[in-house]
């Protein structure tokens, strides 16, 4: 399952399930797997958004 999140503040590199890294940019939206999205939301690096 994927979740769309918006990055709220500078965030460490994110690694997708396929192993490719993302250098997140504040204000940009990304589709991430639910585990990664939950970790970012829990640590207040991102918020879930409806697409």
pTM of the model: 0.85
Q: What is the pLDDT of residue 17?
A: 77
pLDDT digits (tens, 9 = 90+) for 30-51: 999 999 999 999 999 999 998 7
The residues, any chain, with a CB within 8 Å of residue 36's CB and separated by 6 or more, are 14, 15, 16, 17
Q: What is the pLDDT of residue 51?
A: 73
Indicate if the pLDDT at residue 1 is higher than 90.
no
Element (H, E) at 35: helix 34-42
Q: What is the pLDDT of residue 18?
A: 82
pLDDT digits (tens, 9 = 90+) for 2-27: 999 999 999 989 988 788 899 999 99
Structure tokens, 46:
């991102």
Quote the distance between the C-alpha of residue 6 and its chain's center: 7
């Amino acid at each position: 399952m994927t979740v769309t999140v918006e990055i709220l503040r500078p965030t460490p590199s994110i690694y997708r399930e396929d192993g490719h890294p993302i250098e997140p940019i504040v204000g940009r939206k990304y589709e991430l797997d639910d585990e990664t999205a939950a970790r970012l939301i829990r640590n207040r690096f991102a918020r879930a958004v409806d697409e």
